Amino acid sequence: MLKFENPDYLYLLVLIPVLALVLFIMNIKDKRNLRNFIGEALINQLVPEISYYKKVTKQILVLLSLTFLILALANPMEGTRLEEVKREGIDLFVALDVSLSMKAEDIKPNRLEKAKRDVSELLRKLSGDRVGMIVFAGESFVQFPLTTDYTAADLFISAIDVDVVPVPGTAIGSAIKMALKSFQTDLPTQKAIVIVSDGENTEGDVWNAVEEAKKAGVRIYTVGMGTPDGAPIPIYDQNGVRIDYKRDVKGSIVLSKLDEPVLQQIAVSTGGTYRRATSGGNEINDIYDELSSLEKVEFGTKRVTGYETRYQYPLMLALIFLIIELLISERKSKLFAILRKLIPASVGLLVFIMLPFCINAQTVRSLVKDGNKMYEKEKYVDAEVEYKKALQKDPHSKEARFNLGNAYYKQQRYEEAVREYNTNINTMNSDEKADNFYNIGNSLYKMNKFQEAIQAYKQSLKLNPKDEEARYNLCMAIEKLKQQQNQKNQQQQQDKQQQENQKNQQQNREQNQQQNQQQEEQQNDRKQTEQQVRKKNEISKEEAERILDVMRNNEKEVQKNIRKREAVRVRVEKDW
């Protein structure tokens, strides 16, 4: 299969027949002027060595040289190249703790940044393994599923921060269960989980999740972030300036410590190992060595499609024809009398090479042009039809593919637009990729997928740092993501507050019922006592007063117990 990287240059081939026609007319005119000037009878006597056919041949060689030079500028690419690549490896999920305690700075620069660097280093060492990532705090989320695209995975890791999971706390058990649920069952691969955390498990039942991993044959490796002595958790403002440290409900500064026993027990229970991270250590290398020792499973074969440039061949032909033209003189020769018979064949070859390219390029270009006209008139459905016709003629037309994505975008068909933008993205140059990622970011933004949109804008800016619109949209996406997370947090807080209010109301109702019941019992006891006093005249006045004093004391004890119950405080869980 043959394609051109720069098909626009093929339009220059239209000039070749025009130049041929001009040279043909000039040759006829020159020959006529010569005959008129010196006469037909004197031509062979005055210029006997001049060969008309050699002159025409030299012109044809120049035209051929120019033709192949234009083809070289268009950069022909030959494909498709198919290679079979064996892929062997394991399935690995990295569970990264993003709770607030990971901001502690007992490891430099802090626990989270050190963890992200270690995980990125692990990705750079992997080869053939499928890797996914789970971020967890009070809840767990899949940051990206199992993939072999380590570059894209590393890009997601760079965007991770403590605010990606809105629920505070540290639920290691939830992360393990999420990883077990996210493993693919299409292949019997060896599966492993690497937990990177400070071990301060404050939520859920971690040992039940460890038991599930053990039954599934999944090994868990743990990396401890922090020190047993611990460190305070800094709180920063929007400008990155530290304003305070995390405090508990009593106002005391929280000291976050590494809980090594928990992490060690998790690893040992599943056949894995534990490593403690240090500021300048290479603990991740030890983890990688152990992962490499696991049994690899062949995933199958991967077919790689690509094109190889072949501009060298038309360029070489252009130079050969040009050199031949320089070596041929305009004098007559017997050898050339034979070669001149090949002139019609050369002209036919020129037309055969030039015509299909011109027709095909013109057809695709005209369809794209018609689609652009419909697009400018805001007839996006009609534009979509024209772009699809162009892609039927040339499925590798980057312009038609890009414009089709724009037509989908205008019709609010954002998922289809993203699919078109991603097609053939590997064959584009850096500027085209930057535009594609920019449009992908816009489509994802419209779909309220702000996290993915941020990654797309970052890719666009990485390829074109001067794109201010992409930079502005990136800031907007980040702000929208914060608003989305804040709304989610507020909704969760409202739900939690509503539950607490309902619980308090229920407790108040129960307490009021108890008070009313006790008061009724006291009133009944008082009435019965008074009746007994009135009925039994034999009871003295002193005896009656003693009985009343006992009842008053009992009432004081009841009220005291009630006040104690009201003074009980609700225990507040950790939020770091």
Give the integer Cα–Cα distance in Å for 119 and 7.
43
Give the integer Cα–Cα distance in Å for 104 and 255.
9
Q: Which range is most confident: 94-98, 310-314, 400-404, 486-490?
A: 94-98
Question: Above 90 in pLDDT, residue 436?
Answer: no
Pairing state of beta strands 219-224 and 191-197? Answer: parallel
pLDDT digits (tens, 9 = 90+) for 49-77: 566 677 788 888 899 999 999 999 988 87
* Domain contains 321: yes
As to burial, measured by CB atoms within 10 angstroms (0-12 exposed, 13-18 middle, 19+ buried), residue 273 is middle
Q: Are 439 and 421 in contact (CB under 8 A)?
A: yes
* Domain contains 81: no
Higher-scoring residue by pLDDT: 214, 489? 214
pLDDT-derived band at 336 (thresholds 50, 70, 90) equals very low
The enclosing H or E element of 321 equals helix 312-327
212 and 99 in a common domain: yes
Give the integer Cα–Cα distance in Å for 139 and 303.
39
Query: Can you say how many angstroms the Cα of residue 514 is from the centroid of all Cα atoms in its chain?
Result: 59
Question: Above 50 in pLDDT, residue 103?
Answer: yes
| Least-confidence region, from 134-143, 266-275, 403-412, 553-562 | 553-562
Q: Collapsing DSSP states into helix, strand and coil, what is residue 505? A: helix
Q: Say what the pLDDT of residue 324 is.
A: 86
Mean pLDDT score, 87-113: 88
Q: Say what the pLDDT of residue 148 is.
A: 81
125 and 44 in a common domain: no
Question: Above 70 in pLDDT, residue 559?
Answer: no
* Domain contains 439: no
Question: Above 50 in pLDDT, residue 450?
Answer: yes
Q: Long-range contacts made by residues 331-340, C-beta under 8 angstroms, separation at least 24?
A: 331/49, 331/50, 331/51, 331/54, 332/48, 332/49, 332/50, 332/51, 332/54, 333/51, 333/54, 336/51, 336/53, 336/54, 336/57, 337/53, 339/57, 340/53, 340/57
* Domain contains 455: no
* Domain contains 34: yes
* Domain contains 537: no
Question: Above 60 in pLDDT, residue 349?
Answer: no
* Tokens describing residue 527: 């009435």
Question: Above 60 in pLDDT, residue 427?
Answer: yes
- Of the candidates 414, 412, 466, the one whose C-alpha atom is nearest the C-alpha of residue 435 is 466
137 and 212 in a common domain: yes
pLDDT digits (tens, 9 = 90+) for 278-297: 877 777 888 888 888 886 66
Question: Above 90 in pLDDT, residue 396?
Answer: no
229 and 187 in a common domain: yes
Which one-letter DSSP state was computed for residue 570? P
Q: Say what the pLDDT of residue 238 is.
A: 79
pLDDT digits (tens, 9 = 90+) for 215-257: 999 999 999 999 988 899 998 887 878 888 888 888 888 888 8
170 and 276 in a common domain: yes
Last residue of a domain, one of 283, 302, 321: 302
The single residue listed with the structure tokens 């034979």 is 338
Mean pLDDT score, 179-187: 83
267 and 155 in a common domain: yes
Give the integer Cα–Cα distance in Å for 476 and 473.
5
Range of the domain at 197: 86-302
Mean pLDDT score, 177-205: 84
pLDDT-derived band at 266 (thresholds 50, 70, 90) equals very high
100 and 13 in a common domain: no
282 and 144 in a common domain: yes
253 and 175 in a common domain: yes
Rounded to 5 degrees, what are φ and ψ at 81?
-100, 120
Question: Above 90 in pLDDT, residue 435?
Answer: no
Q: Are 117 and 80 in contact (CB under 8 A)?
A: no
Percent over 70 (pLDDT), the chain: 77
* Domain contains 512: no
Mean pLDDT score, 482-502: 82
Q: Say what the pLDDT of residue 490 is.
A: 82
* Domain contains 262: yes
CATH number at residue 285: 3.40.50.410
280 and 157 in a common domain: yes
Q: Collapsing DSSP states into helix, strand and coil, what is residue 245? A: strand
Mean pLDDT score, 194-198: 93
Please spell the DSSP secondary structure of 90-148, one letter per residue.
-EEEEEEE-SGGGG--SSSS-HHHHHHHHHHHHHHH--S-EEEEEEESSSEEEEEEEES
Q: Say what the pLDDT of residue 303 is.
A: 47
Q: Say what the pLDDT of residue 567 is.
A: 39
132 and 268 in a common domain: yes
Average of per-residue pLDDT values in the chain: 79
Q: Say what the pLDDT of residue 539 is.
A: 52
Percent over 90 (pLDDT), the chain: 16
Residue 447 Cα distances to 450, 457, 460, 477, angstroms: 8, 15, 18, 11
Q: How many domains does the chain have?
A: 2
Q: Say what the pLDDT of residue 37 is.
A: 63
Cis peptide before 147 (omega within 30 of 0): no
111 and 153 in a common domain: yes
Residue 561 Cα distances to 123, 328, 515, angstroms: 62, 121, 11
The enclosing H or E element of 496 equals helix 468-535
Q: Say what the pLDDT of residue 264 is.
A: 92
Q: Say what the pLDDT of residue 283 is.
A: 79
Give the integer Cα–Cα distance in Å for 341 and 351.
17
